[in-house]
Every structure is written in C-alpha cells, then in structure tokens.
Homo-oligomer: A and B are copies of this chain.
Amino acid sequence: MPPLDLSHALATEMPVYPGTEPVAVEPRATRESDGYRTTRLDLDSHAGTHVDAPAHLVDGPSLDEFPPERFRFSATCADLRPLDPRESVGLDTLREGLAVDPAEVDLIAVVTGWDRHWGEERYFDHPYLTSKAARWLADRDCDLGVDTVNPDPTPTGRAAADEPEGFPVHEALLGADRLIVENLRGLDRLPDRFVLHAYPHRFEGADASPVRAVAYPEEHDAGD
C-alpha cells in the first residue's frame, strides 16, 4: 500500500481560522518573461494542514526546539463517525473509537469526517473534544491529530456550559508538551496502524508550521 497524502492543498482563498489573514499562492517569475517559473507563498503558520507547538498557547517549547524524530509519529485512528455539527466528543466516545491501545502509539488521529466540508461554511461547525478527553490523551503522552480546523470549538467560547473558557483541549495537550496536527484530510482511508511524517519548517520560536502530512501504512515501515 503506497503512502497517503493527509494534507489539504495550499491555495489563495483556502479556508483559514476566523480572523487569520488569507493565504496567497501567486505566480511570480514566468517561463515566458524570465525563462523559469517561481511562486510566492504568503501564509500563516497555522494555515492548512499544520502542527501546533506548545509555544502557540502556553509558556512551552516552540517547534524548533524539538528534534526531527518528534514529527515522525507511530499513529492510530479513533473513528468517531457519524457526528453532528458542533457535537461534543467525550472520553467514552473517544475510547470506543480506538482500535489500538494508546500506550502503543505516539499520536491518535480523531476521525470526524469533517474534512469533507473543507471550503464550506460548515467546516467551522465541526465537532470538538471535551477537556476530559484531551487530558486523558495528555496523561498517556499522546499527540493529537484532527481532521478539523480545531480540536476546541470554533470560534472559542462556544463550548458546552460545563466546559472551561478558552481553548481547554489545546491547553491540556500543549501544556503537557504534546503536539496537535490540525486540518488533516482523508483519515478514513488509513489502516489501524500507520506512521505519520509531518515535519514542520524550522524557524526561531515557531508556534506552528504548515506541513505536508504523509502516512505510511505500518506494514511498509518495519523500521518503526
């Protein structure tokens, strides 16, 4: 089985988190005028498929402070479909969706199926995790992957009344030096175990970075 691309394409007008400056992908040099082609890429560190560092939200490390092997994840999915818009996913639902013991993996990718709404208004009405589910992952040293723009509700402050204000899922995970991979796509095609390669760009104080997320089904990666 060949590796699978879990990334959304970068494009001008692509969806971004509310309030973020839009992405621009614009031709610069052309073969006709210059003899070669180049493109300008102007984007936020959180645009498209990306990795969040603790430094995004808490007084923790930035991406450039982690070694590259930290971005090669032994991973499994928790398939929670079907879910309703803005449905809250608690710990019991998360655990029931898991095919693999979280102690055996580095990262759990939560499958909501919301990537099919990429480019629609509804993309922002995604399901979200409870803070309890996030703390359970953090306590097991698990990183989190999501096929939504945010594992917390979007915009912030729209969680259920019994949930903390702010970004409780981000805070639980990033506060424990865990990483969050957001805006993944196509998680429904993955086998139970896979290796996710999602190397961020290296820049000083990186709070996040767009990544090309690529998944190798585990049987093809015996080195893991």
CB within 8 Å of B: which residues of A? 2-5, 7, 9-11, 20-21, 25, 27-28, 31, 35-46, 48, 55-57, 64, 67-69, 71-72, 166-167, 197, 199-208, 210-212, 214, 216, 220-224
Whether the pair A207, B37 counts as a contact (CB closer than 8 A) is yes
- Chain B residues whose C-beta falls within 8 Å of the C-beta of A55 in the assembled complex: 37
Tell me which of B21, B31, B214, B223 contacts A28 (CB under 8 A). B21
Query: Nearest residue in B to A25 (C-beta to C-beta)?
Result: B203
**Which residue among A57, A67, A199 has the maximum number of chain B CB atoms within 10 Å of its CB?**
A199
State A112–B53 Cα separation when bound (angstroms).
34
Cβ of A48: which chain B residues have Cβ within 8 Å of it? 201
List of B residues within 8 angstroms of A68 by Cβ? 2-5, 212, 214
Known: A5-B202, A36-B56. 19 other contacts (CB 8 A): A2-B69, A3-B67, A4-B68, A5-B67, A5-B68, A7-B202, A9-B203, A10-B203, A35-B57, A35-B166, A38-B208, A40-B43, A40-B45, A41-B41, A41-B44, A197-B199, A200-B212, A221-B223, A223-B223
List of B residues within 8 angstroms of A35 by Cβ:
57, 166-167
| A46 to B223 CA separation, bound complex (whole angstroms) | 32
Whether A42 contacts B41 by the Cβ 8 Å rule is: yes
Which listed residue (B28, B42, B67) contacts A2, Cβ 8 A? B67
